[in-house]
Amino acid sequence: MNLNDNRYNRFALVREMMETPQVISGFDSKAVAPFADAVKRKEGIFLTGEGSSRIFPAKRAMYARMVRGCRFPVMTEGSTQAIEYNLDDYAVFGASNSGKTKEIMRLMVSLRDKGHDTLLGLTANAGTPLCDVAHMTHLLTCGKENAVAATKSVVEQALFYDAIQHILWGEPMTSLSALAEGFEKALRIEIDQKIVSRLVAAPVIWFAGKNDGVAEELALKTNEITRKRSDFLEGTYAAHGIEEVMNPDEVLIWADPFEEEEEKFYDILVKGVGMTVIAISARPTRFPTLLIPGGLSSSPYIQLAAGWNLLVETGIALGVDLDHPVRARKVGNEYLPG
User: What DSSP line would sit under 11-41, residue for residue?
Assistant: -HHHHHHHHHHHHHHT--GGGGHHHHHHHHT
Which DSSP state fits 1? -
What does the pLDDT look like over 95-145, one tens digit per residue? 999 898 999 999 999 999 999 999 999 999 899 999 999 999 999 999 888
Q: What is the pLDDT of residue 292?
A: 94
Residues of the chain with pLDDT under 50: none
Instruction: Quickly list DSSP for 111-127.
Output: HHHTT-S-EEEEES-TT
In whole angstroms, what is the distance from residue 64 CA to residue 58 CA? Answer: 10
Q: What is the pLDDT of residue 331?
A: 62
At 235, give phi and psi (nearest 5°): 55, -120
pTM across the whole model: 0.95
Q: What is the pLDDT of residue 4?
A: 77
- Asked whether the beta carbons of 73 and 65 are under 8 A apart, the reply is yes
What does the pLDDT look like over 246-268, one tens digit per residue? 999 999 999 999 999 999 999 99
- Asked whether the beta carbons of 247 and 235 are under 8 A apart, the reply is no
Instruction: Quickly list DSSP for 157-197.
Output: HHHHHHHHHHHHHT-----HHHHHHHHHHHHTPPPPHHHHH
Domain 6-174 has CATH 3.40.50.10490: yes
Establish whether domains 6-174 and 179-318 are of one fold: yes
- Asked whether the beta carbons of 39 and 165 are under 8 A apart, the reply is no
| Spans of all domains in the chain | 6-174, 179-318
Q: Strands 204-209, 136-139: parallel, antiparallel or unpaired by DSSP?
A: unpaired
According to CATH, the topology of domain 179-318 is Rossmann fold (3.40.50)
